[in-house]
Amino acid sequence: MLKASEIKVGDTHTEVLVEDLKRTQIVQYAGASGDYNPLHTDELFTTKIAGYPTVFAHGMLTMGMTGRMVTNYVGDGTLKKYGVRFTSQVWPGDTLTSVATVTELREEDGESLVDLEIVTTNQDGVAVVTGSATAKITS
């Protein structure tokens, strides 16, 4: 768990979430999450019927990987809130990097909290996920 005395507004934490995302990882996510939408795993359907160049990752896979960066930073089981917008698609072969930036340190209902702004970008610098999180910290 983060300590209020050790962080300040503007601090950042950066992690590479995945390098050269494999279709197999997307299959793993489909199996674990139960979201078997063929857009994510079925090349024939996705190209011939849906009209996309190839399959693409579940938004929730990117949110999940981004969440890993967040929990590595703030600690296990400390999150109060975590939310994202899916701003661009993630494709096989993408390399994703995620950054959390401390935007506020505050007290609420007797708890010390940190607010984070989150952005995950691909190898071209395009944001694929933007969002925010709030976690408990020790004072």
Partner 1 sequence: MAIDKFLVEASHIMMFARSIGDDNPVYYDEDHKSESGSEGIIAPPTFAQSSAQFDPDYFLRPKTGGVGWFGSGKEPTGLKPSGSGGGGGGGAAAGLHAEQHFEYHLPLKAGDVLSATTKPGNAWEKESKRAGKLKFSESVTEYRNQNGDLVITATGVGVQTERPVDS
> What six digits make up the tokens of 84?
């994202």
Q: Are 116 and 110 in contact (CB under 8 A)?
A: no
Q: Can you list the alpha helix ranges (DSSP code H) found in the chain?
A: 23-33, 43-44, 59-74
CB closer to partner 1 out of 84 and 114: 84
| Cβ at position 131, least distance to partner 1 in Å | 8
Residue ranges that bind partner 1, judged by CB under 8 A:
1, 17-18, 25, 28-29, 31-39, 42, 44-53, 58-61, 63-65, 67-68, 70-72, 75-86, 88-89, 91
CB closer to partner 1 out of 10 and 53: 53
| Cβ at position 52, least distance to partner 1 in Å | 5
| Cβ at position 19, least distance to partner 1 in Å | 10
Helix (H) or strand (E) holding 102: strand 96-108
CB closer to partner 1 out of 86 and 102: 86
| Cβ at position 13, least distance to partner 1 in Å | 15
Q: Is 139 helix (H, G, I), strand (E, B) or coil?
A: coil
Q: Is 20 helix (H, G, I), strand (E, B) or coil?
A: coil
CB closer to partner 1 out of 10 and 40: 40
Inter-CA distances, 37 with 27, 33, 40, 104, 119, Å: 10, 11, 6, 38, 25
